[in-house]
């Protein structure tokens, strides 16, 4: 559901207010914001660069679990559940506000996307996407990926107009390295942290 004009306006002002407040507490420089800070020292491999004509909308630090099930020959990823935070520094601290969630839809959407990201502060918006490219940067962690949005909804100031997204700076999240002793249907959840960066059309 696309919110009414009035609601969108309200959403936009609340979003700006929130970002400005967060900027005030997380950085002393008025020229940077949380999203660009999160990505400041991250060098993004060429294989997962977003296509030209996009700009960064927002980035979240995420902490959660990658869920695997054993199918008889391999551990297969079937879900991810993670909390989204504006900044890395606030995640894990008692005052860290969880601003959204990452999860897999029960079934892929019409565009073949299943991984989804939803924010609910200050307004609700959701994007579902499918992976286009993956590169291994750290062999002990899940790949860094480029995703293309397959559907989105809600506030266009947040995730409602996202075209592409990246996951970078992964720590952990790999399935068990061995399948020894595993039975069909066994489940395993591995902790991970990551940065999800969301892009919109630059027009």
Ligand X SMILES: *[C@@H]1O[C@H](CO)[C@@H](O)[C@H](O)[C@H]1NC(C)=O
The answer to the question of residue 21 lying near ligand X (CB under 6 A) is no
Residue with tokens 């590169």: 135
Other CB atoms within a 10 A radius of the CB of residue 107 amount to: 6
The answer to the question of residue 71 lying near ligand X (CB under 6 A) is yes
The answer to the question of residue 99 lying near ligand X (CB under 6 A) is no
The answer to the question of residue 78 lying near ligand X (CB under 6 A) is yes
The answer to the question of residue 185 lying near ligand X (CB under 6 A) is no
Nearer to ligand X by Cβ, of 148 and 157: the residue is 157
The answer to whether the beta carbons of residues 76 and 66 sit under 8 Å apart is: no
The answer to the question of residue 12 lying near ligand X (CB under 6 A) is no
Q: Residue 67: in which H helix or E strand, if any?
A: strand 54-70
Site string for ligand X, 117-136 (x = CB under 6 A): --------------------
The answer to the question of residue 150 lying near ligand X (CB under 6 A) is no
CA distance linking residue 165 with residue 59, whole number of Å: 9
> Which one of 70-78, 121-129, 131-139, 160-168 is the stretch in contact with ligand X (CB under 6 A)?
70-78
The answer to the question of residue 79 lying near ligand X (CB under 6 A) is yes
> Which one of 28-36, 43-51, 158-166, 175-183 is the stretch in contact with ligand X (CB under 6 A)?
28-36
The answer to the question of residue 53 lying near ligand X (CB under 6 A) is no
Contacts 24+ apart (CB under 8 A), 39-45: 39/168, 39/195, 39/197, 42/168, 42/169, 42/195, 44/144, 44/166, 44/168, 45/135, 45/137, 45/144
Residue with tokens 């579902």: 128
CA distance linking residue 34 with residue 23, whole number of Å: 6
CA distance linking residue 65 with residue 123, whole number of Å: 25
> Which one of 68-76, 118-126, 132-140, 159-167 is the stretch in contact with ligand X (CB under 6 A)?
68-76
> Which one of 75-83, 123-131, 161-169, 175-183 is the stretch in contact with ligand X (CB under 6 A)?
75-83
Q: Least distance from C-beta 116 to ligand X, angstroms? A: 9
User: Would you give the distance in Å from CA 135 to the centre of its chain?
Assistant: 17
What does the binding site for ligand X look like in residue numbers (CB under 6 A)?
19, 33, 35-37, 40-41, 55-56, 71-74, 76, 78-79, 81, 103-104, 106
């Amino acid at each position: 559901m696309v919110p009414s004009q009035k609601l969108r306006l309200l959403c936009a002002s609340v979003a700006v207010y929130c970002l400005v407040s967060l900027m005030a507490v997380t950085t002393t420089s008025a020229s940077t914001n949380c999203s660009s800070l999160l990505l400041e020292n991250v060098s993004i491999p060429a294989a997962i660069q977003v296509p030209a004509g996009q700009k960064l909308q927002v980035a979240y630090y995420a902490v959660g679990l990658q869920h695997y099930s054993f199918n008889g020959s391999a551990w297969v990823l079937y879900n991810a559940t993670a909390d989204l935070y504006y900044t890395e520094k606030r995640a894990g601290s008692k005052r860290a506000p969880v601003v959204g969630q990452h999860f897999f839809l029960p079934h892929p959407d019409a565009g073949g996307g299943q991984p989804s990201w939803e924010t609910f502060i200050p307004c609700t918006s959701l994007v579902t996407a499918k992976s286009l490219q993956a590169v291994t940067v750290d062999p002990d962690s899940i790949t860094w990926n480029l995703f293309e949005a397959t559907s989105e909804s809600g506030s266009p100031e947040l995730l409602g107009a996202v075209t592409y997204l990246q996951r970078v700076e992964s720590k952990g999240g790999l399935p068990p390295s061995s399948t020894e002793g595993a039975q069909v249907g066994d489940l395993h959840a591995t902790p991970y942290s990551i940065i999800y960066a969301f892009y919109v059309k630059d027009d």
